[in-house]
Structures are given as C-alpha cells and as structure tokens.
Amino acid sequence: MQLRKATRTKAKIRLGLSAVSGGGKTYSAILIAKGLCGGLSKVAIIDTENGSADLYSHLGEYNVLPLTAPFTPEKYIEAIKTCEKAGMEVIIIDSITHEWEGKGGCLEIVETLTQASSSKNSYTMWAKVTPRHQAFIDAILQSTAHMITTVRRKQDYEMSKDHNGKTKVEKAGLKEVTRESYEYELTVNLQLDTAHQATASKDRTGLFMGKPEFIPSEDTGRMIADWCEIGIDPEEETKAGVAKLANCNDVDDLKALKETLPAYVLSSEDFKIAATKKYNEVKPVTA
C-alpha cells in the first residue's frame, strides 16, 4: 500500500446519451464521435435497433456491427472486443437498453432462471445474473476506445394512496431503461429532449453541467477530445521510464530512478519486466 500524488492522465470518454424514441440518440452519437476522432473511419456502431445506424450513412463511412437477440451481456462484450480488435477509436453502443430489458437480456434471464427453479425466488437468481451484467459494464469502462452508449427513456410511474386510502398511480418523470446505477459509471451523461436539445445530468469534465441546453454536434466531440488529451500519457511515461533504465549502472542507480518515477509507471508490467532484467545485469556478484 503506497500513497502517491494525484496525477491527471489522458482519458477515454465514457459518454451516455438518453432520450425517448425520436430524441436523436443515434444521430447525436455519430456527430459527437466524428468530432472526437476527426472522422468516422475509426468509429463503430454496435446496432441493436434494427438497422437504424445505417440511416445516417450520408454522414460518413463509419462501421456497423449489427446485434440481434438474444441480447445477453456476453454478446455485447463479444461485440465490444470485436470493435477493439479492429482498431476502432470510438465505439457507440446503440443501445444498451436491450442488455437489460430486451429479449435475452438480464431481466428475461432472471425470469427464465426463476421459473426453472424449485424455489421460484427471483432474488437468489440475481446472484447469478448480476456478475454477468457487471462484466458488461466493466467491458465498457475498461475499453481501449472512447465509448458512447445510448439508452431509451420511458415514462415512469409511482403508486401512492390518497386521503381515503385508495391506491392511485401518478406519473414520475422519465426513467432510463437500464440498471439504475449505470449513470454513476459514466464520465458524462446527457439527456436529450424531443427537439434534440441536451442537458447534463452528470458531468465530470465541467464542460456541460450548469450550462444552457444545446444540440450535440461535431464541436461537442472536439470539446470532449480536447478534455481527454489534458494530462500525461501513462503509456508514453512508462516507455520513458523503461528507456531511463539504460543509464543505470548499479543497484544504487536503480533505487534512485525508482524514487523519481510515479507509481503507475513502477506498477506497469513493462517497467517491472525491464527493471528486473536490468537488476540482474547490475546486481553485485557474491562470492
């Protein structure tokens, strides 16, 4: 366990876009992605919306990976890995709602397992399904690409009792159709209205929170890209640390070098391998 100074490193955005049907989720995601990487050739859309991604092909030559039912967490993870292996810089998942509520999604998996069990206790089935859903979330958070996820929003309702004790149902605003805690995982979450105007419900960048509503565009993507580039690049810092090992002539030099390097460099596998090799070269020979 080791304390270290806080260090701002370059980042990959984790952006959420939510809207009702017709709110412009797909179109906005493509424009933002185009601004993020200066074009669309390295953008991929994992399309669960029956080909809706192809409707905007006039915007540029982006890539589409169609996803059909069953919408299991594992199927989404495989799609993300396929895009990463193809060298995509931005991955758009349009949408993640199906992983939760779609055919073969988490809610249906729990229902199927519950009906097949002797106890008929859905609570115990979540112990099996939650880790699968979390693996899907981890695939988004740990991706090597920028991630933009869209999610449907629908009218939510609340039940209460009036002064006569009768049950009544009231509208309770719009709710994102995915697991409730998902927004907490994101860097930025933008909510779109039917006029495609966006407001931030969460924002770690400081670019959008408390600002007037706006229509997402390529400029939005460029703003996010600039924010992501602020800070140091851990990979480049690690390469520089490995290069400095060449100037170490003895164990004392190694100790002195390690005192100057940040913890994320010292803990990287590349540096540890190179440092071990160098130590074996310069360690004192015992009789």
Domains contained in the chain, number? 2
Does residue 287 fall inside a structural domain? no
Q: Rounded distance, CA 31 to CA 218, Å?
A: 5
Q: Is 238 exposed, middle or buried (0-12, 13-18, 19+ CB in 10 A)?
A: buried
Q: Tell me if 98 is assigned to some domain.
A: yes
- State the angle between helix axes of 218-229 and 25-37 in degrees (0 to 180), rounded to the nearest 10: 50
Residue 262, domain member (yes or no): yes
| Alpha-carbon distances of 14 from 176, 182, 212, rounded to whole Å | 17, 11, 21
Which residues, at least 6 apart from 8, have a Cβ–Cβ distance to it below 8 Å? 230, 231, 232
Instruction: Supply the CATH number for residue 22's domain.
Output: 3.40.50.300
Please name the residue that has the structure tokens 């089935």.
125
> pTM (2 decimals)?
0.77
Does residue 37 lie within any of the structural domains?
Answer: yes
**Rounded distance between C-alpha atoms, residue 29 and residue 17, angstroms:** 8
- Same domain? For 148 and 253 the reply is no
Give residue 121's pLDDT. Answer: 85
Whether 30 is covered by a domain: the verdict is yes
Mark whether 146 and 185 lie in a shared domain.
Answer: yes
Same domain, 246 and 139: no
Are residue 169 and residue 243 in the same domain, yes or no? no
Q: What is the 3-state secondary structure (H, E, C) of the chain?
A: CCCCCCCCECCCCEEEEEECCCCCHHHHHHHHHHHHHCCCCCEEEEECCCCHHHHHHHHCCCEEEECCCCCCHHHHHHHHHHHHHCCCCEEEEECCHHHHHCCCCHHHHHHHHHHHCCCCCHHHHHHHHHHHHHHHHHHHHCCCCEEEEEEEEEEEEEEEECCCCCEEEEEEEEEECCCCCHHHHCCEEEEECCCCCEEEEEECCCCCCCCCCECCCHHHHHHHHHHHHCCECHHHHHHHHHHHHHHCCCHHHHHHHHHHCCHHHHCCHHHHHHHHHHHHHHCCCCC
Cα 61 to Cα 68: distance, rounded to the nearest angstrom: 22
In order along its 287 residues, the chain shows pLDDT tens digits of 666 666 667 789 999 999 988 889 999 999 999 999 999 999 999 999 888 889 999 999 999 999 999 999 999 999 999 999 999 999 999 989 999 999 999 999 999 999 998 888 888 899 999 999 999 999 999 999 999 999 988 755 456 666 666 765 555 456 787 888 899 999 999 999 989 999 999 999 999 988 899 999 999 999 999 999 886 677 888 889 999 999 999 989 999 998 888 777 888 888 999 999 999 998 887 65
Q: Are residues 31 and 116 in the same domain?
A: yes
Q: 271 and 180 share a domain?
A: no
Are 219 and 109 found together in one domain?
Answer: yes
Per-residue pLDDT, 147 = 97
Last residue of a domain, one of 184, 213, 229: 229
User: Are residues 104 and 113 in contact, defined by beta-carbon separation less than 8 angstroms?
Assistant: no
Q: How many CB atoms lie within 10 A of CB 169?
A: 9
- Within this chain, do residues 241 and 225 fall inside the same structural domain, yes or no? no
C-alpha atoms less than 13 angstroms from C-alpha of 82 in its C-beta half-sphere:
16
Task: Give the residue numbers spanning the domain of 174.
Answer: 14-229
pLDDT of residue 6: 66
Residue 112 lies in a domain: yes
Within this chain, do residues 148 and 268 fall inside the same structural domain, yes or no? no
Q: What is the largest CA-CA distance in the chain?
A: 94
| Structural domain contains residue 128 | yes
Instruction: Say yes or no: 140 and 202 in one domain.
Output: yes
Residue 6 lies in a domain: no
Cis peptide before 70 (omega within 30 of 0): yes
Let me know whether 143 and 271 are in one domain: no
> 194 with 22: CB under 8 angstroms?
yes
> Which residue among 229, 250, 269 closes a domain?
229
Residues 168 and 140 in one domain: yes
Q: What is the pLDDT of residue 72?
A: 97
